[in-house]
Amino acid sequence: MKLVIVESPTKAKTISQFLGKDSATAGEFVIESSYGHVRDLPKSQLGVDVENNFQPKYIVPLKARKNVSALKKKAAKAEKIILATDEDREGEAIAWHLLSALGLEDRPEDNILRIVFHEITKKAIEKALKNPRDIDMHMVNAQQARRILDRLVGYKLSPFLWQKVARGLSAGRVQSVAVRLIVEREAEIDAFKKEEYWTIEGIFSAKGGSASSGKKDDNSFKGELYKIGEKVLEKFDIKNETEAKKILDKLEGKNAEVISVEKSAEERHVPPPFTTSTLQQAAFQRLRMSAKETMRNAQRLYEEGYITYMRTDSLNLSQESLSEAAGWIKENLGGKYLLPKPRIFKTKSKSAQEAHEAIRPTDPSRRPEDLKKSTDPREARLYELIWRRFISSQLPSAVLENTKADIDIDGHTFRANGTRLVFDGFLKIYQMKFSENILPELREKEGLKTESIAPIQHFTEPPPRFNEASLVKALEKNGIGRPSTYAPTIATIQDRGYVEKDEQRRLRPTETGKIVNAMLVENFPEIVDISFTAKMEEGLDEIAEGRREWPPVIREFYEPFSKHLETKYESVDSQKIEEKTDESCPNCGKPIVIKRGRFGRFMACSGFPECKTTKKLPEPALNIKCPKCLEGDVVRRRGKKNGRYFFGCSRWPACDFVSWTLPGREKKE
């Protein structure tokens, strides 16, 4: 009997179709799950011997002991052990930990096989079994180094925050940088001062037509003043309404004439197949999925055999998948959508492993509607997004015809821009924001009728708050974290109460987040320094590639950090976190404030300890009435079992309204 061990029961169940009791090889292979990590650092202590080259002290967690014991018994009876955990650093580390936890170190090397595959298909697994390899200790050490670094920062710095700010706070290499990005963006927004500027817009038509005719062949179009004489207007050249009206006075009663018409072709380029970060961004923008939900659904799709491995920063596609895509395109879309040769995308990430692939369907002929019958609807929608992105990556570019027409009125040049879709190309499968604006056929020196000329007031806008998609993009751009860390980082900073979502699902810092960030920036600048954190990630990549040993990478960070922390315990004053509210205490009349305690934020009287009034913090108001009872307000709540946010009525349990989407803001299909 050959024992195959993977991380999850779902993955084990899928592989069983090809190797286990449900397959032609029934009896030869037994597929079991480790249920995730089988060893970890203890929660009750640091678990790292800093005096002994930072050696970790791993234990088998209590929740894993029963399963580890069962796996040990099965391993003892197996002629071969096949470790088929995921192909990334985390999966490599789990395979290595299994060796120790199951007591397999002394078994002959040819009794223990490490296999990897990018997709859970019969062909991929059979190929992996024919090409086993050793456990990659460089990847294991990179994962160990990350885990130890994160433990050292969290275990050493969090008590400092408890003493100086409030219990229950935490700091981390990646999460603290993410909070800093959000806090600094909020500061930019607060400091922003809007500036006024004006544009002048004309509506023109050929002299035979009218903008108000109401006929279907109405040929009116818009143009914007962009040049006066030979001076091209800059954004703030027309500063106020007075200046705008002076220009309008000069144009009154003057004739309009077309002075130039230029047409040009433009290719709208095909987006590449998904990486982890671009999938999270697109799923948020198109499906309103959080990064955490996206990865949870993608994990299931992978383990069920529908998509390739979902933690990747590679844009590579296998030759087989490219051939399958071309076959599907030829059969279903026709020859004009078939590329003369496959389109290859160049991976930008330095850390991407070339053997890995982008996220794609394992079988391009499996249409999204095939999944909708048997799969969770959210998983099916994510699969459709992945399928469309992959197929479209092998379609031609879309071709647009752009028209630029300049209209003169007494030395004032208005410009009209038009766009027409000539060939849809990849847009046939993967829709993107695009709207045609077709200008009528215009000729040079053609006289036009001026329907209206109007000044339009504008104000500059502050930078937007981050949402989950734009934060993932910023983290990736700055080299903060890796594909496996984006989703848990975003979840952690919300769970810790450093960041919350506004009514438009954008991320804003809480008062706690601002205070903790200010303390870290002032006293531990390296922890929240973007370039320093990015450099640490590069160090981990070098370990994974075998170019550096892991203890020196940790030592370079830890020794100065540890000494610095000791001095800060003495020199930094404590800070209280109290957020003001507009409420007064019902018992003593003093202001009610929001405090942070051991179990999170709560409302309390500012007269404490004389007045001990406290109450639960209400859910944030969304200013939407409950669509069911029409009396309560819609509030956001969090499920106890899965931690997923949903919307309910403030009158619960009197009203049992619940919804996964914010009423009135459901995504339109």
Residue-wise DSSP of 548-603: S-HHHHHHHHHHHHHHHHHHHHHHPPP----EEEEEE-TTT-PEEEEEEETTEEEE
The least confident of 212-216, 308-312, 518-522 is: 212-216
Q: What is the pLDDT of residue 210?
A: 41
H helices of 131-212, in order, are 137-164, 173-191
Dihedral angle at the C-alpha atoms of 564, 565, 568, 572, nearest 10 degrees? Answer: 140
Three-state SS for 40?
Answer: strand
The least confident of 130-139, 197-206, 570-579 is: 570-579
Please determine, for residue 24, whether its predicted confidence score (pLDDT) is greater than 60. no
Average pLDDT over residues 14-25: 75
Burial of residue 253 (number of CB atoms within 10 Å: 0-12, 13-18, 19+): exposed
Please determine, for residue 330, whether its predicted confidence score (pLDDT) is greater than 80. yes
Cα–Cα distance between 8 and 566 in angstroms, integer?
42
Q: 163-192+478-571 has which CATH code?
A: 1.10.460.10
Token readout for 553 is: 């990478």
Cα–Cα distance between 65 and 562 in angstroms, integer?
34
Shortest CA distance to 41 belongs to which of 149, 114, 135? 149
Domains 196-269+398-459 and 619-669 belong to one CATH topology: no
Please determine, for residue 248, whether its predicted confidence score (pLDDT) is greater than 90. yes
Shortest CA distance to 528 belongs to which of 89, 157, 145? 157
Backbone φ and ψ of 53, nearest 5°: 60, 30
- Confidence at 213, pLDDT banded by 50, 70, 90: very low
Average pLDDT over residues 498-510: 93
Q: What is the pLDDT of residue 570?
A: 84
Please determine, for residue 212, whether its predicted confidence score (pLDDT) is greater than 80. no
Q: Are 121 and 305 in contact (CB under 8 A)?
A: yes
Please determine, for residue 482, whether its predicted confidence score (pLDDT) is greater than 90. no
Average pLDDT over residues 330-349: 92
Helix axes 137-164 and 511-523, enclosed angle (nearest 10) = 110
Neighbour-count burial for 613-622, b at 16+ CB within 10 Å, e otherwise:
beeeeeeeeb
For residue 21, count other CB atoms closer than 10 A to its CB. 12
Structural domain 2-135, CATH architecture: 3-Layer(aba) Sandwich (3.40)
Average pLDDT over residues 339-354: 79
Dihedral angle at the C-alpha atoms of 329, 333, 338, 343, nearest 10 degrees? Answer: -50
In this predicted model, which residue has the larger pLDDT, 520 or 372? 520
Burial of residue 391 (number of CB atoms within 10 Å: 0-12, 13-18, 19+): buried
Quickly tell me which residue has 């995730």 as its tokens.
Answer: 36
306 catalytically annotated: no
Q: Are 421 and 434 in contact (CB under 8 A)?
A: yes
Q: Which residues contact 210 (CB under 8 A, 6 or more apart)?
A: 218, 220, 449, 451
pLDDT, tens only, 604-638: 998 888 999 998 877 665 668 888 888 788 888 77
Please determine, for residue 547, whether its predicted confidence score (pLDDT) is greater than 80. yes
CATH class for the domain made up of 619-669: mainly beta
pLDDT, tens only, 548-565: 999 999 999 999 999 999
Shortest CA distance to 317 belongs to which of 339, 293, 291? 339
283: Cα separation from own chain's centroid:
8
Please determine, for residue 315, whether its predicted confidence score (pLDDT) is greater than 90. yes
The least confident of 304-313, 551-560, 587-596 is: 587-596
Backbone φ and ψ of 11, nearest 5°: -65, -40
Sign of the torsion formed by the C-alpha atoms of 578, 583, 587 and 588? positive
Domain residue spans of the chain: 2-135, 163-192+478-571, 196-269+398-459, 276-392, 579-615, 619-669
Q: 196-269+398-459 has which CATH code?
A: 2.70.20.10
Exposure of 411 in the CB half-sphere (CA atoms within 13 A): 6
- Confidence at 666, pLDDT banded by 50, 70, 90: very low
Among 197, 302, 306, 309, the one annotated catalytic: 309
> Considering the chain, what is the average pLDDT of its residues?
90
Looking at this protein, which amino acid is placed at residue 349? S
Q: What is the pLDDT of residue 642?
A: 60
- Confidence at 374, pLDDT banded by 50, 70, 90: confident
Please determine, for residue 544, whether its predicted confidence score (pLDDT) is greater than 90. yes
Global pTM reads: 0.83
Q: HEC string of 68-122? A: HHHHHHHHHHCCEEEECCCCCHHHHHHHHHHHHHCCCCCCCHHHEEECCCCCCCH
In this predicted model, which residue has the larger pLDDT, 581 or 548? 548
Q: Which residues contact 19 (CB under 8 A, 6 or more apart)?
A: 4, 25, 28, 29, 31, 125
Cα–Cα distance between 111 and 514 in angstroms, integer?
54
Exposure of 611 in the CB half-sphere (CA atoms within 13 A): 18
Please determine, for residue 175, whether its predicted confidence score (pLDDT) is greater than 80. yes
Which CATH number among 1.10.10.10, 1.20.140.10, 1.10.290.10, 3.30.460.10 corresponds to the domain 276-392?
1.10.290.10
Shortest CA distance to 298 belongs to which of 356, 367, 360, 352? 360
Provide, rounded to the nearest whole percent, the portion of the chain with pLDDT above 70: 93
Give strand pairing partners of 646.
Answer: 637
Average pLDDT over residues 21-41: 83
pLDDT, tens only, 417-464: 999 999 999 999 999 887 899 999 999 999 999 999 999 999 999 999
Helix axes 276-287 and 377-392, enclosed angle (nearest 10) = 120
pLDDT, tens only, 38-73: 999 999 999 999 999 999 999 999 999 999 999 999
Exposure of 265 in the CB half-sphere (CA atoms within 13 A): 7
Cα–Cα distance between 41 and 52 in angstroms, integer?
16
Please determine, for residue 214, whether its predicted confidence score (pLDDT) is greater than 50. no
Please determine, for residue 667, whether its predicted confidence score (pLDDT) is greater than 50. no
Please determine, for residue 262, whether its predicted confidence score (pLDDT) is greater than 70. yes
Cα–Cα distance between 354 and 286 in angstroms, integer?
29
- Confidence at 108, pLDDT banded by 50, 70, 90: confident
Three-state SS for 304?
Answer: coil
Sign of the torsion formed by the C-alpha atoms of 423, 426, 428 and 434? negative
Q: What is the pLDDT of residue 11?
A: 95
Cα–Cα distance between 397 and 426 in angstroms, integer?
6
Neighbour-count burial for 156-182, b at 16+ CB within 10 Å, e otherwise:
bbbebbeebbbebbbbbbbbbbbbbbb
End-to-end CA distance of the chain: 50
Cα–Cα distance between 460 and 462 in angstroms, integer?
7
Q: State the DSSP code for 316.
A: -
Please determine, for residue 496, whether its predicted confidence score (pLDDT) is greater than 50. yes
